[in-house]
Amino acid sequence: MATMSLTANVEAVRHFNRFYTRHIGVLQGFLGSSFTLAEGRVLYEIAQHEEPTATDVGRELGLDAGYMSRLLRRLEHRGLVRRTRSDADGRRAHLSLTRAGQAAFSRLNQHTEDDVAARLRPLSSGNRRRLVAAMQTIEGVLDARPGRPAPYVLRPPHAGDLGWIVHRQGAVYAEEWGYNEQFEALTADIVAGFVRQHRPAKERCWIAEKDGEVVGSVFLVQHSATVAQLRLLFVEPAARGLGIGAKLIDECVRFARQVGYRTITLWTQSELEAARRLYKKAGFRITARKPHDSFGRKGLVAETWELAL
């Protein structure tokens, strides 16, 4: 009986694999481009990491050294990838995208977002939630490692999420830092301004969701033609330590670069040490400090941080 059950499970998985590869079209080239799926993934990994080695990329993608080497040779031959010998160890070479490689990746990345959006758009909000939850379940079951944080997903806001942001930031900042209703009013103004003046091509809001519950959020809005502003970074206390805050910042930086901003600025308070550590790790630097009395508190120090892109 156990053997029959395993056989049935194997066939179900193979059936799903056939359905999904046909549905996303991976057998017909990567998003209609001249790249294979493996080549597209290699470009993505190099773009997302600072000068990784071939071993780093191969390990991340689960590719053996020989196949990885052949992929890199093809991409180098096309003028998309360059190798630079390590100063510390001449046996190691760091990978980076050439100007042509960056342009190719930018096109692929935009095509990926457009393709996924086109597949999700016909679905109802409820079915989108079901689909994402099912994908999270698959990822969590197949990649269950001891000590591995439970998976979460970043998504655009749904109905009710913006109100949740105002409510939870007002409640948590009151409890943890003693901020009064003035802070909640400021949060509400920022959220309302995002809705009223939203520029979809240049602005985004990301919601972090874990186990079907909203656990974090961030906004990236246009400050000027070349400067974006990161606003209202927040992670629920129970979800801290899972890397959600760092991932939200990473998404802001990735999107800002993609749409052509040159700088990201943000405004925070000197006492918010956890957030400040994340900003510093992401490469932001303090450019201004100003004492002020706000939110029912005296002696606060506001800080402006900036990241050059």
Per-residue model confidence as pLDDT tens digits over 41-64? 899 889 888 888 888 898 888 888
Do 154 and 236 lie in a common domain?
A: yes
Q: Give the three-class secondary structure for 189.
A: helix
- Mean pLDDT value of segment 280-309: 96
Residue type, 38: A
Residue 19 lies in a domain: yes
- Give the other-Cβ count within 10 Å of 121's Cβ: 8
Identify whether residues 9 and 109 lie together within a single domain: yes
169-198 average pLDDT score: 96
d(CA 4, CA 267): 60
Question: Is residue 215 within 8 Å of residue 238, measured between CB atoms?
Answer: yes
* Per-residue pLDDT reduced to its tens digit, 97-144: 999 999 988 988 888 888 888 888 998 877 887 787 777 777 766 765
> What tokens does 55 get?
């071993």
Name the region of 232 (left: φ>0; alpha: ψ -120 to 50; beta: rest): left
CB 81, CB 96: distance < 8 Å: yes
* pTM over cut 0.85: no
Q: In terms of domains, do 47 and 173 share one? A: no
The mean pLDDT value for 139-155 works out to: 70
Taking the CB of residue 218, how many other CB atoms lie within 10 A of it?
A: 25
**Which residue has better confidence, 25 or 225?**
225
Contacts of 292 (CB under 8 A, 6+ apart): 300, 301, 302
164 plus 114 within the same structural domain: no
Pairing label, strands 263-269, 227-235: parallel
Residue 7's CB is within 10 A of a number of other CB atoms, namely: 10
Q: Are strands 204-210 and 297-308 parallel, antiparallel or unpaired?
A: unpaired
Does residue 71 belong to any structural domain of this protein?
yes
Backbone angles phi, psi at 205, to 5 degrees: -125, 135
Residues 167 and 258 grouped into a single domain: yes
Domain range enclosing 284:
147-308
Confidence at residue 90, expressed as pLDDT on a 0 to 100 scale: 60
155 is a domain residue: yes
Q: Residue 269: which CATH number?
A: 3.40.630.30
CATH of the domain at 48: 1.10.10.10
Angle CA 226–232–238, to nearest 5: 140
Answer yes or no: is 166 within a domain.
yes
Q: Is the pLDDT of residue 26 over 60?
A: no
Q: Identify any residues that bridge with 95 across adjacent strands, giving them in sequence order.
A: 83
Same domain, yes or no: 74 and 222: no
Count Cβ atoms below 10 Å from residue 40 Cβ, excluding itself.
21
Find, among 233, 255, 253, the residue nearest to 308 by Cα. 253
225, burial (CB in 10 Å: exposed 0-12, middle 13-18, buried 19+): exposed
Q: Do 115 and 215 fall within a single domain?
A: no
How many domains does the chain contain in total? 2
Whether residues 159 and 281 fall in one domain: yes
Do 225 and 161 fall within a single domain? yes
pLDDT at position 32 is 62
135, part of any domain = no
Same domain, 110 and 160: no
Query: What average pLDDT score do residues 175-191 get?
Result: 96
Same-domain check for residues 100 and 192: no
| Whether 100 and 166 share a structural domain | no
Instruction: Say which range, 12-21, 125-134, 240-249, has the weakest mean pLDDT.
Output: 125-134
